[in-house]
Structures are given as C-alpha cells and as structure tokens.
Amino acid sequence: MTPYMQHEASVAERSRRTESSAAKAKSRQHWLSGIPRVVTLTAICVIFGYPLLWTVLGAFKTPQTFFSNLWGLPAAWSFDNFIQAWSVGHIGQYLINSSIVSASSVALVLVLSLPMSFVLARVKFSGSSIIFGVFLITLFVPLQLLIIPLYELEAKLGIINTYWGLILPYAAGALPFSVVFATSFFRTLPAELDEAARLDGCNLGQTFVRICLPLARPAVATVVILSFLNVWNEFILALTLTQSDSVRTLPIGLYNFSTQMGQTNFPQLFAALTMATVPILIVFLLTQKQFISGLVDGALK
Amino acid sequence: MVLPGLLLFAVFVLWPLVNALANSLFRWDGLSPKVFVGFTNYVQVFTSSTTWQTLQHTAIYAIGTSIAKVVLAFLIALLVARRTRGVGFFRSVLFIPVLMSFVAVGVLWTFIFDPNQGLLNGALGAVGLPNKTAWLGQPGLSLVSVMGVDVWKWLGYHVILFVAGLQAVRPELYEAARIDGAGRAQCFWNVTVPAMRTMIGLNFIIAIAGALNVFDLVYVMTSGGPDGSTDTVMTYMYRQAFNVQQYGFASALASVLFVMVAIITLVQVRSLRSDYNQ
C-alpha cells in the first residue's frame, strides 16, 4: 500500500468510528442552518425526487389521459402498462437475462479474484509483484475502449450473442479492482492468524477458506456491490455483443423499447423504466448501510 | 489459485488491449483481410476536423461536469453531513439516480426535456418563464443539457464520498480553530477545505475519468446530434467502427482516448500523492 492509500484507508476507518462526534462538532460550524438550509434541501429533494416519482406515477396512467394529466396522480390506477411492457416489450425476458449475466459475472469475479488476492497477499513468488502491478495499472482502463478487439475476439470464439459473451468480459473487466482491493484487505490481516492455522494443521487453501475468507466479508461485500452495479447497468458492450432478445440485458432492451414504441406510448415506457429500476433499488434498500460503505471504501482505494 | 483469473484477464483484457493498439496500424473493414498502413490512421485522426470537434466536446463535457459535480456535491455534503431528521431520506433520494442505468436516466430526461410536452418547459411555463426551449434540439444548448443530466445522475455518489470525508475530519481541529478565535467562514476555509483536499482531488479523478469516455448518455439522448453538437470521441469512435466499418481508424481514435485517460489519471494520482506527502 502506498502512504496515500493507507491514509485513505484510515480516513474511511475513522469516519466510521467518529461519525457521531464529528457530526456533533460539525453542527456548530455550518454557515447555512435553520430555514435556508431546509429550503435548500427541499428544493434539491424536488429536483431529484420529483422526476422519479413522476415516472412511477406516469406508469399507472393510460396513454389517453397521460398528456391531459401530466402532473397529477393517475385518475384510475392501471397495471396494464406494466403487463404490456413485461410481455410485449419483453421486459420480463430482459430482467431474466440481466439477472443471469450479473449474478454469473459477480460469482465468477469472486471465485477468481479472492483466492488470487489471498495468494498475492500471502505468498512471495517470482512475478507476484508484477501480477499485482499489472492489475494496478489496468485499474483505470475502461473496458468500453476495448470494444472493437473484444468484438473481433468474440466473433472468433463464436460467443457473440451468448450469455458467456457478456459474462467473460464483464468478469475480466472487474478483476483489476477486486484483486487490488481484496489483496490490500488480506494484507491487513495479521500474519499470526496464518501461523496459528498452520500449527493447527491447515494448509494454505484451508487457511484461506476457514480463517481468512470469513474475515474478509466486508471486502467481499464491496467487490460484490461495485461489480454488480457496473454489470447491471453496462451499456456499450451489451449493445455490441448481443443481437437477439433472448440474450439482451435490460439497458439494451430499454433502449430498443424507447426507440421503437416508447415514442408513441409513454406510460408503457415509464412502466418499463420503473420495472428496470426497482430490482436494484430493492437491493439498495435492503443493504443500504453496507451498500454505501462499500461504495465509499471502493472509491477510496 | 492465481492462474485461472490471470488467464481470463489475459484473454479478455490484455490481449484486446494489445490488439486495440495493433488494429490502429491497419486498414480493415471487418470483412476483407487487414492491410498494414503504418501511422496513416493516426494522420487521418489528427487531420479530421470531426476528431477535433469531438475532442473539444469531450473536454468541455469532462471539465464542466466534474467541476459541477465536485462543487455542488461538496456544498450539499456540508448541508447533510450533520445527522438531523430527514437527512437519511434526503440522501436516499439523491442516491437513486446513481443506481439507475444511463439508459434509464437518458430516456427519462429526454422526455423531461421535450420542448412541447416535457416536464421542464411545463414547470418553466407555470412560473411564467420562457417555455418553448428545445433543450436537446439546439446545437448551442444540447451539450450543456446532456451534461446537466450527467451531473444529476452522479451527484449523489459524490455527496456520499464528501460526507464520509467530512465526518472523518478530526473535531479537535475545529475546536483548536475556535479557541484561536476563528469564525465560521474561517473555520471552513482554514480547516474544512484543507482537510478535504485529498477528497476533493479524488472526486475530480473519479468524475473526469468517467466523463472522458462518455457514451451511453449521449447515445441514448441525442446520438451525437443535432448537427454533431453533442458528438464525443466515444460516440464518434463507435460510429466509425460499427456503422461505417472503419475499424482501423476507430482503433486509432480509441488509442488516442486511451492515452488521454491514462495521462490524466496518472497526473492526478501523482499530484494527490505529493499533496499527501507534503
């Protein structure tokens, strides 16, 4: 770890420990407080919240009443748009595809990166620092820039328009972050743990599975959250490497839906938008604390 | 335990990376065999006026959105770092766009920007302001409109990073400053801002690195139009590759963008580190 990363790690650490006391101290030095603060926050809330609320409400309106009742609540709550978008718009199929691709990519990233990170953190072998260095350097390579050679490669391998054609590059693209992040984490675990495990008769693999992996749960959560969010919303690879609705993921399905029939049927488009956003929103609400601290830790690395 | 991951990475990232650079030296339409042309593609890239136009748009986009994101997020974070009633709800609302895909955000805002039936003109009309603006339809305005949507989508993410940073500032610093007689403004400029320097830099890196290869939002909202006014390096590259099958030219363009991303990231990371070491 560089001094900079150590510093950042300690910042994240401290932020959790001193959250309440720091918040208390801060409350005395805000120049904006009281009514102006409340007004500002409410205004921001409207700018961010209203378009979202409006989308959901719009999804319940009928196409005939949509424009005459642009702002208010639907006159009669209708689920027709959802049903239509689900079946005619194939949103159901896209949801399944996105789930399969995202879950498989994340699982593959974990299976490949965690043991590798453990070994990189614990075993000194010739080339180990080179391997870590390669991942560190490629941390900032956007996968999207590789779209042409990826297309060429997948055409040769014959995996264009398959789930694997998305899962493999997604998992590979998520490796630099997860390896760098997990390796740094494993390095923070005291070496005495391994020592004790070895005395108890564990080999390296057993030490990893029984001792260190359970301790790495926060790091695993961060890797899962970040890679899942990226894969779930990824656009350009999915746009280029899929050709039929049986493989297309939600962002592509949504895009096609909006260009084909969305222009004529806004409520149905909004129903599709709502259904595409709800799954990840549920994941977020269920794991809110972990989700946020995962994002923060991930960014600070 | 290391090999499987390394193999996947080599095949799907390292090999394409090498190929991306190699492809830029060939003329290639995807069907007939590749023809080696040396640096011809790069000459074409740098002599094409569209390249300079898209580079300019990308630079404006990256600088504009990252400054807006960092400044606004910092100010909002100051407002919500304190835990009072409703702050949790506020943070969640601000965070929902972060979870949405660029496609969902783009589709939603295309409708909000609709000149005739859109929400934005409707709201402006309701308070008596001009309400016929074609937000995405005017070359002078379209890029700024798309940039605004990008800021809208990512603001919550930067707010959360800043909140974490603010909460990590040691309370002793504020106490010491107050004992020395510092007022609120002085506390802000002499304690909060210096303590947050690394955090501000980090947010800039994240924002700029993300914005340099902006593609999704532009593709969904304007496809680079009207009249090329929102065309970015990535959308230009994509069109050259997958619409007109100029893969060599597009690869050269991608390589140029890649070098830009690499240089900017390296420079920023280095300056952050020297910042810390001072």
- Tell whether the model's pLDDT for residue A162 goes beyond 90: yes
- A229, burial (CB in 10 Å: exposed 0-12, middle 13-18, buried 19+): buried
pLDDT above 60: residue A16: no
- Assign B36 to helix, strand or coil: strand
Report chain A residues whose CB lies below 8 A from the CB of B277.
3-4
Kindly give, in sequence order, each residue whose CB lies less than 8 Å from that of residue B200, ignoring residues fewer than 6 positions away: B70, B74
Q: Of B79, B104, B213, which is closest to A41 when you measure between CB atoms? A: B79
Q: B160 in a domain, yes or no?
A: yes
**CA atoms of B139 and B23, how far apart (whole Å):** 33
Say yes or no to pLDDT of A23 above 50.
no
Paired residues of B36 in beta bridges: B26
Looking only at Cα atoms, what is the longest distance across chain B? 76
Distance from the Cα of residue B127 to its chain's centroid:
32
Of A106-110, B28-32, B75-79, the one with minimum mean pLDDT is: B28-32
Query: Which residue from B145, B158, B55, B159 is spatially nearest to B105, judged by alpha carbons?
Result: B145
pLDDT value for B237: 93
> B-chain residues within 8 Å CB-CB of A44?
76, 90, 94
Nearest CA in chain A to B117: A67
| pLDDT tens digits for range A204-241 | 888 888 888 899 888 898 899 889 999 999 999 999 99
Nearest-CA residue of chain B relative to A300? B202
Q: Measured between alpha carbons, how far is residue A18 from residues A29, A37, A89, A165 in Å?
A: 17, 24, 49, 46
Query: Can you tell me the distance from the alpha carbon of B252 to that of A283, in angstroms, rounded to the nearest whole number?
Result: 40
Answer yes or no: do A116 and B5 touch at CB < 8 A.
yes
Q: Does B271 touch chain A (CB under 8 A)?
A: no
User: Hey, is B195 helix, strand or coil?
Assistant: helix
Question: Is B38 within 8 Å of chain A by CB?
Answer: no
Instruction: Give the pLDDT score at A111.
Output: 95
Q: Which of B3, B6, B9, B192 should we substitute to test contact with A (largest number of A Cβ atoms within 10 Å)?
A: B9
In a domain, B227, yes or no: yes
Torsion angle (degrees, nearest 10) of CA A265, A268, A270, A273? -120
B145, burial (CB in 10 Å: exposed 0-12, middle 13-18, buried 19+) = buried
Nearest CB to A27: which of B82, B94, B250?
B82
Q: Are A252 and A238 in contact (CB under 8 A)?
A: yes
Residue B89 structure tokens: 């709800």
Say if residues A172 and A109 touch (Cβ distance below 8 Å): no
DSSP letter string, B77-126: HHHHSS--TTHHHHHHHHHHHHHS-HHHHHHHHHHHT-TTT-HHHHHHHH
Locus of tokens 């149905």: A268
Domain assignment present for residue B187? The answer is yes
Those residues whose C-beta lies under 8 Å from the C-beta of residue A208, and which sit 6 or more positions away, are A115, A118, B1
Q: Does B117 touch chain A (CB under 8 A)?
A: yes
pLDDT at B55: 92
Q: Quick count: other Cβ atoms within 10 Å of Cβ A64?
A: 9
CB B20 within 8 A of CB B13: no
**For B5, which of A15, A24, A175 is closest by C-beta distance?**
A175
Residues of A in contact with B213 (CB under 8 A): 142, 144-145
Q: Which of A21, A69, A148 to mutate to test the interface with B (most CBs of B within 10 A)?
A: A148
Residues of A in contact with B15 (CB under 8 A): 149, 153
Q: How far is CA B146 from CA A183, B59, B140, B216, in A?
A: 38, 14, 12, 11
Q: What is the CATH number of the domain that holds B99?
A: 1.10.3720.10
Residue of B nearest to A296 (CA): B161
- Could you read off the pLDDT of B113-151 as tens digits, one per residue? 988 888 888 888 888 888 788 889 888 899 999 999 999
Domains in chain B, number: 1
Q: Work out the percent of chain A whose per-residue pLDDT is above 70.
A: 87
Q: How far is B156 from chain A (nearest CA, A)?
A: 9
Please give the pLDDT value at position B103: 93
Closest CA of chain B from A197, distance in Å: 19
Burial of residue A74 (CB within 10 Å: 0-12, 13-18, 19+) is middle
Inside any domain, residue B21: no
> Are residues B102 and A251, on separate chains, in Cβ contact within 8 Å?
yes
* Any domain includes B4: no
Q: What percent of chain B has pLDDT over 70?
A: 98
The residues near B166 (Cβ < 8 Å, ≥ 6 apart) are: A22, A26, B77, B78, B81, B192, B196
List the domains of chain A with CATH numbers: 87-300 (1.10.3720.10)
Whether residues A148 and B184 touch (CB distance < 8 A) is answered with no
Do B205 and A140 contact (CB within 8 A), yes or no? no
A73 — pLDDT class (breaks 50, 70, 90): confident
The SS3 of residue B27 is strand
Q: How confident is the model at residue A17 (pLDDT cuts 50, 70, 90)?
A: very low
Dump the DSSP string for A277-294: HHHHHHHHHHTHHHHHHH
Q: What is the pLDDT of residue A33?
A: 61
Q: Compute, in degrees rounded to 10, the torsion defined by CA atoms A255, A261, A264, A266.
A: -50
Q: Is residue B35 part of a domain?
A: no
- Give A264-287 pLDDT, tens digit per residue: 678 888 898 899 888 888 888 888
Binning pLDDT at 50, 70 and 90, where does residue A294 land?
A: confident
What is the C-alpha separation between A2 and A22, in angstroms, rounded?
Answer: 27
- pLDDT of A188 higher than 80: yes
Put simply, the answer to whether B166 touches A22 (Cβ < 8 Å) is yes
Q: Quick one: pLDDT at residue A164?
A: 96
The CA distance from B194 to the nearest CA of chain A, in Å, is 14
- Map residue B35 onto helix, strand or coil: strand
pTM: 0.87
Which residues of chain B are within 8 Å of residue A131 when distances are taken between CB atoms? 2, 6
Closest CA to B93 of A12, A42, A197: A42
**How close A19 gets to chain B, by Cα (Å)?**
6
The complex scores an ipTM of 0.89
Q: Which 201-240 residues of chain B touch chain A by CB within 8 A?
A: 202, 206, 209, 213, 215-216, 219-220, 234, 238
Model confidence at A96, in pLDDT bands (50, 70, 90)?
very high
Q: Tell me the range of A96-110, B78-92, B98-112 where mean pLDDT is highest.
A: A96-110
pLDDT at A290: 83
Confidence of residue A261 (pLDDT cuts 50, 70, 90): low
Nearest CA in chain B to A135: B9
Q: Residue B11 falls within a domain, yes or no?
A: no
Is residue A269 within 8 A of residue A262, CB to CB? The reply is: yes
Closest-approach residue (CA) in chain B for A174 = B9
- The residue with greater pLDDT, A107 or B78, is A107
Identify whether B26 is part of a domain.
no
The per-residue pLDDT for B274 is: 67
- Partners of B26 in beta bridges: B36
Domain that holds residue B116: 41-277
Q: What pLDDT score was predicted for residue B277?
A: 55
Probe site for chain B from A94, A145, A166 (most B CB atoms < 10 A): A145
Joined tokens for residue B50: 């569209």
Take residue B149 and report the two structure tokens written for it: 């949507």
Residues B92, B181 contacting (CB under 8 angstroms) = no
Q: Which residues of A touch B5 (CB under 8 A)?
A: 112-113, 115-116, 175, 179
- Give the angle A144-A149-A152 at the CA atoms, nearest 5°: 125
pLDDT band, residue A179 (cuts 50/70/90): very high
